[in-house]
């Protein structure tokens, strides 16, 4: 009898508490799904579209009839901006320049807040400004003839590997007869180019195994989580309970490849560094670190330098190769695109030399194919999450300090109002009177505002060099001779990628 009475009181009480928690949200906060136990609205996001979070948020936006959806994702109060017109407003909103402090960020930076990508405030401002200022001196973020020649030399080695076969054991993993392995076949020019920027050195072909380890580690990291972090970021204690299933071990191992490489390199550099002369960016940083007199507020350290290098290497060793491998898949789906690229390169450049950056303006279709790939296949559909650094307002809503703020880039890149036929791969949309018209490119694959990807110029230039050189040399076809009729299912991680695949390359003579 007593038990029944207690149950009769407890059940309604617990239900009332559950209901109150589910519907509670800050005053004048954007509408959205209820807050459920442990993962909040994340349960409903996954139920809406388990393998496509950007599409899930778009559907929720339509369901709640709002362009800005508000919810709790685990402990994080969150808004997702789904309107193409509002996304730029969000990206240029200085109150949203913060980053979320999560286990994914901490595990990659010695359990501190280090690096460029995932830090904010005074620390981020000082370190980003310094890195871009001095890396620019050594060719990063601008046109640089020496860097261009380094990348060209690596492209020649890449082509030779496919035409004449592997020279060293590791190359057999990526070249087998007339087959090459995507995306890692493209990796070395991007990584060695960045290595040249920071250290004025490149690894010779006999040491490419170290660069391929970086590429494998970077891609493992990118594929082991998603842009929100899934269960690991929302419930970080899972790393101690199910480290494999939660992705923690893969994230840790992938990141460790980057840290191990740069820890060893920085040890060598520090041993020969001379304050009287900067040989490269790493020297400039170490010299400044020694001279820094801000004492307790100093942002300089060798650990931070390793994370700066890792931050810039991570996309260079994974994201840009992923874009090109997706573009190669597109050539298999639409052979007429490949024919147009070959015609343009043969007409403008010929076969006597590799395409260079001077040719970029005269190869508008080739450049447009890269841009269209990044639009159709948005690499990071939800970007990297921002954080509101103060209580602020956004399009009539009150956004509390600490709120996670995310832009749904996929809604921009698939907007019928902007693109007309967004589902169609049509590079010509960026070309006017035979010239590339960048004003027509409303896509934001590198973001915008103060959080704009610092490597955009480097990525765009190198992708053009590598892809145009590759296409000048080869015709691509499926590894088994079968016609590819539809895109393969994407792997959803921090970036979206196609599964690794072999492609047949036929030298064009």
Token pair recorded at residue 104: 């994914």
Cβ-based burial of 89 (10 A; exposed 0-12, middle 13-18, buried ≥19): middle
Q: Is 462 marked within a binding site?
A: no
The H-assigned helical ranges of 49-144 are 53-63, 84-91, 103-107, 121-137
Sign of CA dihedral 179, 184, 190, 191: negative
CB 21 within 8 A of CB 32: no
**What is the Cα–Cα distance from 121 to 390, expressed in whole angstroms?**
12
**What is the Cα–Cα distance from 12 to 274, expressed in whole angstroms?**
73
Give the strand pairing for 404-407 and 76-81: parallel
Distance of CA 333 to the CA centre of its chain: 24
Q: Which residues pair with 501 in a beta bridge?
A: 182
Q: What is the DSSP string of 429-490?
A: GGEETTEE-GGG----TT--GGGS-TTHHHHHHHHHHHHHHHHHHEEEEETTSPPP-SPPPP
Classified as helix, coil or strand, 47 is: helix
Token pair recorded at residue 12: 């309604």
Q: What is the number of alpha carbons within 13 Å of residue 105 lying toward its C-beta?
A: 19
Output the CA–CA distances (angstroms, integers) from residue 98 to 88, 113, 116, 123, 148, in the order listed: 16, 12, 12, 11, 34
- What interhelical angle do 456-473 and 187-199 show, nearest 10? 140
Contacting residues for 145 by C-beta, under 8 A, at least 6 apart: none
Among residues 426, 434, 432, 194, the alpha carbon closest in space to that of 317 is found at 194
Token pair recorded at residue 40: 């909040």
Contacting residues for 338 by C-beta, under 8 A, at least 6 apart: 331, 471, 475, 476
Output the CA–CA distances (angstroms, integers) from residue 179 to 185, 192, 478, 485, in the order listed: 10, 23, 9, 20
Binding annotation: 453
Binding annotation for heme: 453
């Amino acid at each position: 009898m007593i038990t029944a009475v207690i149950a009769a009181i407890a059940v309604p009480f617990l239900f009332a508490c559950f209901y109150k928690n589910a519907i509670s949200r800050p005053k004048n906060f954007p509408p959205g799904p209820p807050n459920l136990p442990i993962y909040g609205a994340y349960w409903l996001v996954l139920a809406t579209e388990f393998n496509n979070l950007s599409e899930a948020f778009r559907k929720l936006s339509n369901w709640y009839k709002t362009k800005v959806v508000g919810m709790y994702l685990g402990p994080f109060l969150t808004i997702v901006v789904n309107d193409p017109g509002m996304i730029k407003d969000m990206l240029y909103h200085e109150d949203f320049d913060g980053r979320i402090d999560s286990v994914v960020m901490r595990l990659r930076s010695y359990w501190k807040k280090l690096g460029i990508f995932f830090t904010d405030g005074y620390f981020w401002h000082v370190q980003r400004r310094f890195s871009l200022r001095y890396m620019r001196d050594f060719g990063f973020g601008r046109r640089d003839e020496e860097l261009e020649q380094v990348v060209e030399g690596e492209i020649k080695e890449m082509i030779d590997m496919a035409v004449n076969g592997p020279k060293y054991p590791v190359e057999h993993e990526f070249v087998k007869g007339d087959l090459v392995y995507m995306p890692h076949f493209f990796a070395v020019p991007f990584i060695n180019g960045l290595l040249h920027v920071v250290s004025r050195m490149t690894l010779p072909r006999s040491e490419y195994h170290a660069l391929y380890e970086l590429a494998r580690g970077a891609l493992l990291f990118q594929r082991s989580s998603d842009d929100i972090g899934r269960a690991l970021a929302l419930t970080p204690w899972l790393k101690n309970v199910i480290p494999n299933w939660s992705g923690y071990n893969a994230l840790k191992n992938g990141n460790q490849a980057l840290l191990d490489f740069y820890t060893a390199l920085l040890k060598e550099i520090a041993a020969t560094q001379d304050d009287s002369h900067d040989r490269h960016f790493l020297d400039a940083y170490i010299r400044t670190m020694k001279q820094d007199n801000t004492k307790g507020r100093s942002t300089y350290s060798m650990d931070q330098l390793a994370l700066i290098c890792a931050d810039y290497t991570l996309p260079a060793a994974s994201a840009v190769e992923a874009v090109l491998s997706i573009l190669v898949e597109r050539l298999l789906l639409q052979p007429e695109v490949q024919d147009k690229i070959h015609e343009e390169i043969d007409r403008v450049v010929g076969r006597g030399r590799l395409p260079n950056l001077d040719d970029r303006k005269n190869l508008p279709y080739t450049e447009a194919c890269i841009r269209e790939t990044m639009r159709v296949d948005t690499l990071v559909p939800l970007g990297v999450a921002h954080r509101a650094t103060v209580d602020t307002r956004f399009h009539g809503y009150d956004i509390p300090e600490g709120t996670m703020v995310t832009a749904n880039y996929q809604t921009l890149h698939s907007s019928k109002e902007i693109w007309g036929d967004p589902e169609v791969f049509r590079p010509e949309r960026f070309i006017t009177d035979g010239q590339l018209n960048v004003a027509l490119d409303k896509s934001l694959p590198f973001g915008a505002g103060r959080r704009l990807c610092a490597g955009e110029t480097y990525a765009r230039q190198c992708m053009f060099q590598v892809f145009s050189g590759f296409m000048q040399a080869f015709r691509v076809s499926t590894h088994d001779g079968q016609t590819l009729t539809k895109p393969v299912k994407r792997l959803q991680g921090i970036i979206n990628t196609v599964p690794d695949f072999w492609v047949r390359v036929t030298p064009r003579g």
